[in-house]
Amino acid sequence: MNRIIIFTGKGGVGKSSVAAAHALASSKSSKKTLLVSADAAHNLGDIFQIDIGSRVKKISEYLDVLELDSDAIKTEFFPKVKNTMIDLMGKNGLGITNLNENFSLPGFENLFSLLKIKEIYDTNIYENIFIDCAPTGETLALLKLPELLAWYMEKFFPIGKKIIRILSPISKLAYKVVLPSTQTMDTVEIIHQKLLELQELLKNNEICSVRLVCIPEKMIVEETKRNFMYLNLYKYQVDTVFINRVIADKIENPFMKNWKNIQSKYIQELEEVFINIPIVKIPWYPKEIIGEKALESLCDNIESLPDLFSVKKITQNEEYLTYKDGYILKIELPFIKQEDLKINHHETDLNIKINNMKRCIPLPNILRKSHITDTKIENNILFIYFQVEKKKEDTF
């Protein structure tokens, strides 16, 4: 099965270098490979020392590189989106007066990059697609978008276009509300469908996984742990952790020796917390990683991971178990703290909020009329107990 691997981590830790080394290693094993930069501040051109431009650039027989320009994708592939937004928001005087050619919604642009990657994946040209992402915060915002937007769309536009066609003249006369045109609803439905397919692809544990890149320093270790928890919350499969810039063991210089001790402490912590996930250590090289030769040394390191391109670990993020009064929902959330967690149950939705990250989990039908009796965190797993009304005969 063709693969998508997403690289994420804090700014400057080596995401692009590690992603590029994966791409080079993959192409050298004669697998048709695409390396995509989804970070607006592209630097793949610097790494390969070529001018890439906004189209797919061939680097070698098996290796292509692409630096995505989300603005260009937006106009090229989804020209109707602008009109749709105007139709949806502008008609009823919702105060959107300056919606013009350059309209933008925060984070929305990046979504087009993901949709574009899905389109490329669907062409079946590439065996391996590697995505070099922007630093953590932005990537998390990006990865939660497909699910979030699809959910909003379902909430706000639940009526199908056929009903719109019938209701539209009536609503205009009776309620002075102009419903979106059928054409707009068509576009909304297409986007909605694409978002669902995108989610399905990114969360398919056999196709897509996320690889974390970090450096053994306190702030970065903390952020890596948080990042991992949020990725679990959104059901992404993290399958390898790369600890980059590890100082060599034999070091004489007292300044570097001191740093070596600091690093050792955090490497140990990372090994303890990511006990179930493969870890690859990458040495701190005496030079920047620029050009194919430098990348080749990095390839040698990452190739220490057996079967580099396969999915390394498949976790089941959400699981329902039965107990005498109902069901227990089990969600793996490493490093979660009770005090950061808020849970809200509303009809068929379960809203989980951890600090400022939110996820809405649609519950199965049988839990429609249930209520939460208890929540527990044990061994990094959140257990939510639902008591179900006795007479209910619904099935999942």
Ligand X SMILES: Nc1ncnc2c1ncn2[C@@H]1O[C@H](COP(=O)(O)OP(=O)(O)OP(=O)(O)O)[C@@H](O)[C@H]1O
List interacting residues with ligand X (CB under 6 A). Answer: 9, 11-17, 39, 43, 135, 244-245, 282, 284-285, 288-289
Got the DSSP string for 45-74? HHHHTS---SS-EEEETTEEEEE--HHHHH
- Using the minimum distance from each CB to ligand X, give the nearer residue, 135 or 278: 135
SS3 state at 166: helix
Q: Is 244 in the site for Mg ion (CB under 5 A)?
A: no
In angstroms, the first-to-last Cα distance of the chain is 30
315 binding partner (options ligand X, Mg ion, none; Cβ < 5 to 8 Å by kind): none
Strand intervals (E) in 81-215 = 128-132, 208-214
Query: Per-residue b/e over 91-111, b at no fewer than 16 CB within 10 Å?
Result: eeeeeeeeeeeeeeeeeebbb
> Measured from the CB of residue 30, what is the shortest distance to Mg ion in angstroms?
26
> Measured from the CB of residue 197, what is the shortest distance to ligand X in angstroms?
28
Please check whether residue 246 is in contact with residue 240, taking contact to mean a CB–CB distance below 8 angstroms.
Answer: no
> Measured from the CB of residue 17, what is the shortest distance to ligand X in angstroms?
3
Q: Is 139 in the site for Mg ion (CB under 5 A)?
A: no
What is the phi/psi pair of residue 305, to 5°? Answer: -80, 115
Got the DSSP string for 267-329? HHHHHHHTTTS-EEEEE--SS---HHHHHHHHHHHHTTSTTTTS-------EEEEEETTEEEE
Distance CA 173, CA 96 (A): 23
> Measured from the CB of residue 14, what is the shortest distance to ligand X in angstroms?
4
> Measured from the CB of residue 44, what is the shortest distance to Mg ion in angstroms?
8
Binding pattern for the stretch 254-273 against Mg ion, x by CB under 5 A and - elsewhere = --------------------
- Using the minimum distance from each CB to ligand X, give the nearer residue, 259 or 284: 284
Q: How far is CA 85 from CA 51, 91, 108, 280, 304, in A?
A: 35, 10, 12, 45, 49
> Measured from the CB of residue 78, what is the shortest distance to Mg ion in angstroms?
26
Q: Is 16 in the site for Mg ion (CB under 5 A)?
A: yes
107 binding partner (options ligand X, Mg ion, none; Cβ < 5 to 8 Å by kind): none
Q: Which of 10, 11, 36 is nearest to 22 (CA)?
A: 36
SS3 state at 262: helix
Which residues does 35 contact at the CB level (< 8 Å), separation at least 6? 19, 20, 22, 23, 44, 63, 64, 65, 66, 130, 132
Stretch that binds Mg ion, among 15-23, 73-81, 183-191, 320-328 (CB under 5 A): 15-23
Stretch that binds Mg ion, among 8-16, 120-128, 185-193, 318-326 (CB under 5 A): 8-16
> Measured from the CB of residue 11, what is the shortest distance to ligand X in angstroms?
4
SS3 state at 381: strand
Got the DSSP string for 2-35? -EEEEEE-STTSSHHHHHHHHHHHHHHTT--EEE
- Using the minimum distance from each CB to ligand X, give the nearer residue, 166 or 248: 248
- Using the minimum distance from each CB to ligand X, give the nearer residue, 273 or 294: 294
Element (H, E) at 114: helix 108-122
> Measured from the CB of residue 215, what is the shortest distance to ligand X in angstroms?
9
Strands 341-346 and 326-332: unpaired
- Using the minimum distance from each CB to ligand X, give the nearer residue, 194 or 245: 245
- Using the minimum distance from each CB to Mg ion, give the nearer residue, 20 or 148: 20
Amino acid present at 338: Q
> Measured from the CB of residue 8, what is the shortest distance to Mg ion in angstroms?
10
- Using the minimum distance from each CB to ligand X, give the nearer residue, 49 or 379: 49
284 binding partner (options Mg ion, ligand X, none; Cβ < 5 to 8 Å by kind): ligand X
> Measured from the CB of residue 129, what is the shortest distance to ligand X in angstroms?
17
- Using the minimum distance from each CB to ligand X, give the nearer residue, 103 or 285: 285
The size of the interface with Mg ion (CB under 5 A), counted in residues, is 2
- Using the minimum distance from each CB to ligand X, give the nearer residue, 184 or 240: 240
- Using the minimum distance from each CB to Mg ion, give the nearer residue, 11 or 278: 11
Stretch that binds Mg ion, among 10-18, 340-348, 364-372, 382-390 (CB under 5 A): 10-18
Q: Give contact residues for Mg ion (rule: CB under 5 A).
A: 15-16
